Amino acid sequence: MNKLIVSISLLLFGSMPTMADEFPTEETVRYALNCMAELGGQTDENLYTCACRYDAIRSTMSFSDYEEGYTFERNKSMPGEKGASFRDNKRGEKFYKELLKVRKAANADCLVVKHVELIKPTNK
């Protein structure tokens, strides 16, 4: 009976997110795919660079702050009244500026890796 209770407890509580403000998997994948596309395609080298950048962002910003900054970035150029709610959002603008700083630091810290092939020496 005790084993059953422990098993159910582990199943229920072990599958819950460890942090309330954890970045969702969907956002992780979206970031990686967009980043790799900007670097020239889906290669192991680009994945390494993008994972480094993403980890730098995650370690610096909470997901809710990242989401507000990214939403502001995506919608600030929307024309008309709908866009005004984003353009006039001082809180979103603050997180957008923070996101730009974090991205700049991540881009500087995470080198773009290039694939290098070993040239075998000849016997001459």
pLDDT, one tens digit per residue, over 81-94 is 777 777 778 888 89
- Given a cut of 90, is residue 78 above it in pLDDT? no
User: pLDDT tens across 21-42, in order?
Assistant: 689 999 999 999 999 999 999 9
Domain boundaries, the chain: 24-109
- Given a cut of 60, is residue 20 above it in pLDDT? no
Q: How confident is the model at residue 5 (pLDDT cuts 50, 70, 90)?
A: very low
Q: Is 124 helix (H, G, I), strand (E, B) or coil?
A: coil
Q: How far apart are CA 34 and CA 30, in angstroms?
A: 6
Q: How far apart are CA 23 and CA 51, in angstroms?
A: 13
Contact 32, 57 (CB under 8 A): no
Using a pLDDT cut of 90, give the percent of the chain over it: 49
- Given a cut of 60, is residue 109 above it in pLDDT? yes
Tell me if the pTM is above 0.75: no
Average pLDDT in the 16-25 region?
Answer: 68
One-letter amino acid of 105: A
